[in-house]
Amino acid sequence: MSKNTNILTSYLKLIDIHVDKNEFEYQLNGHPEFPNILSFSDTLHFFNIDCSVFEIDQEDVELLPKNFISINDEGFKLEDKKNYDISASNLVLLVDKSESFYNENKRNNLFLWSTVLLGALMLSVLLLDFSFFYTGLAFVSLSFLGIFLSYEAYKKTHGKGTIIPLGVCQNKMLKTDCDYVFNYKKWKFFDISEISLLFFFSQVISFIVLAVYKDLNFYYFIYKYIFYLFIPISFVSLYYQVIVIKKLCPVCIGIILCVYAQLALLFFLPNPQININPFSIALYGLFVGASALFLLYLKEKINWNNKLKEEIVKSSRFKRNYTFFRNNLSIQKKTLNDDFLSSFNFGNSDASLVLTLVTNPSCKYCKEFYPTFMRIINNYSHKINIRLVLDADLDNFSEELRTTYINMACIYENSEDKNTFFVALEEWYTIRTDKNGISRWNDKYSHLFINQDRVISILNNQKKWRNINDINFTPDIFINGYQYPIEYDRADLEYFLSEMMG
């Protein structure tokens, strides 16, 4: 089975998901179902990696992402969709990155780059020559403004969102249209946004390097002539915008104004005798080149991430195919003796769609699923028969835990408005580890802690039903008696229920 583990970890690396292989193998080998496919699926979920196993037909191959794993009697095989032979195996394993994964990475990247740019700005300020501090500070600040505008231009060029208001970049009255200008076919042989990003980024890097080397005079000297070279380029850009395209790009104009403002600032600096130092030239050339390579690396990384996201979207679309879900659901374990179940019932008792949730007030994963469950109740309770079962084992619980389950059942049984039970359970998930909070919770609902003999009988009946159906984990979900497939994220339940109700 080490071969399967190697193939799976290679697949994860290929789609840019990195796990500790030793830890993965440790968790995998400790699974009671190892080496069954369920052990791999559960271990992936343990690492917060969504995965699904599907049995597919020939017409479904087109829906597959570029890379995936096929499963046959010999084990796993890493597949490329172009070379995939469905006759060898029609069972496939797909891995998906959840939206939270991207949001977390987006936040981490934002924090990282904000920290880097802020650090570079602070370092630049500290390295300024205090004899003309304010002029130098304005010059460096314009460099950072240029980086910001260039990056926003890059996002517009590559079809990404931007924080610049739409009314600025696209305004009929002002005749502005950034998208049209950036993507104008006549200058497709070079990318304005990439050139300006390199220009300002290398400006900051070379400033820091030459300031450390104490040769800022050379820095200002060389950029004065670079700015002179920029003048005809700016006129060409403005000519195309005003005369040829007849559309203006505020971002482009902002970049041009940054450069002209920097050129104007240079005239406020003293003009000492410049000694052309070969080492300064070498340093400047080296770090401009390094800046170019770094930005090229970032561009490739961004392109790779964009391709990866496209594959993930395809995978998610495949996973959320309702037909596959329905077929997968129909082969799952079906509960027995449902008429014997003494569940807590909500919603429409006459509905043909029955949703059963087995939950545990002390379970972390039940707490995570609870907001989704509440949305289902709020949005679909008039169309669904909802049953809730507590994972209670009163004979083996501690006295404290036993009391908690009985009190919880009493709240349902004795409250006129059954929504009180949901509010109480939601509050419990918040305070379940806080002794003071538990005490206040008990005081709030103590008037409902009556008729305990009846609720004890209900909880014992629920235990018998769970034992008959071998239900040992929470949260466990059943749709019309069929167990919700483990391959699917619980958060997807809401999506599939809306499909099932038609």
Q: Specify the pLDDT at position 326.
A: 83
- 171, β-bridge pairs: 176
Q: Specify the pLDDT at position 33.
A: 66
Are 148 and 113 in contact, with CB atoms under 8 Å apart? no
Name the E strands within 38-122: 50-55, 67-72, 75-80, 91-96
pLDDT at residue 179 tops 70: no
pLDDT at residue 31 tops 70: no
Q: How many CB atoms lie within 10 A of CB 173?
A: 6
| DSSP letter for each residue of 235-265 | HHHHHIIIIII--B-HHHHHHHHHHHHHHHH
pLDDT at residue 499 tops 90: no
Q: How confident is the model at residue 193 (pLDDT cuts 50, 70, 90)?
A: confident
Q: Specify the pLDDT at position 346.
A: 87
- 483, β-bridge pairs: 478
Query: pLDDT (tens digit, 9 = 90+) per residue, 310-331?
Result: 665 556 556 667 777 888 888 8
Q: Specify the pLDDT at position 102.
A: 47
> Per mean pLDDT, which range of 20-29, 179-188, 243-252, 385-394 is the poorest?
179-188
Query: Per-residue pLDDT averaged across 86-103, rounded?
Result: 70
Q: Specify the pLDDT at position 101.
A: 47
Average pLDDT over all residues of the chain: 79
d(CA 386, CA 390): 13
Token digits of residue 245 = 């395209």
Query: Per-residue pLDDT averaged across 334-359, rounded?
Result: 85
Query: Per-residue pLDDT averaged across 118-147, rounded?
Result: 72
- Kindly list the structural domains of the chain, giving each domain's residue range(s) and its CATH number in brackets, ordered by start: 2-96 (3.90.70.10), 101-314 (1.20.1440.130), 333-500 (3.40.30.10)
Q: Specify the pLDDT at position 109.
A: 54
Q: Specify the pLDDT at position 305.
A: 67
Q: Specify the pLDDT at position 189.
A: 46
> Per mean pLDDT, which range of 59-63, 105-109, 248-252, 482-486 is the poorest?
105-109
Query: pLDDT (tens digit, 9 = 90+) per residue, 208-248?
Result: 787 777 777 888 888 888 888 888 888 888 888 888 888 88
d(CA 377, CA 406): 23
Higher pLDDT, 117 or 286: 286
Sign of the CA dihedral running 228, 230, 235, 236 = positive
Q: Specify the pLDDT at position 119.
A: 64
Q: Specify the pLDDT at position 272.
A: 58
Secondary structure of 437-476 as H, E, C letters? HHHHHHHHHHHHCCCHHHHHHHHHHHHHHHHHCCCCCCCE
Helices (H), 89-191: 99-126, 133-157, 166-169, 178-182
Tell me the residue type at 312: I
Are 187 and 236 in contact, with CB atoms under 8 Å apart? no
Highest mean predicted confidence (pLDDT) among 14-28, 233-247, 365-379, 448-462: 448-462
Are 49 and 18 in contact, with CB atoms under 8 Å apart? no
pLDDT at residue 290 tops 60: yes
Query: Per-residue pLDDT averaged across 154-171, rounded?
Result: 66
- 385, β-bridge pairs: 347, 354
Q: Specify the pLDDT at position 97.
A: 56
Q: How confident is the model at residue 333 (pLDDT cuts 50, 70, 90)?
A: confident
> Per mean pLDDT, which range of 74-78, 119-123, 363-367 is the poorest?
119-123
Residue 413 burial (CB < 10 Å; 0-12/13-18/19+)? middle
pLDDT at residue 113 tops 70: no
- pLDDT > 70 fraction of the chain, expressed in percent and rounded: 78
Q: Specify the pLDDT at position 82.
A: 84
Higher pLDDT, 271 or 146: 146
Q: Specify the pLDDT at position 291.
A: 76
pLDDT at residue 487 tops 80: no
Query: Per-residue pLDDT averaged across 166-178, rounded?
Result: 70
d(CA 2, CA 24): 11
Higher pLDDT, 43 or 480: 480
* 384 φ/ψ angles, rounded to the nearest 5 degrees: -125, 145
Residue 499 three-state SS: helix
d(CA 427, CA 224): 65
Q: Specify the pLDDT at position 104.
A: 46
Query: pLDDT (tens digit, 9 = 90+) per residue, 245-274?
Result: 888 888 888 888 998 998 888 887 766 566
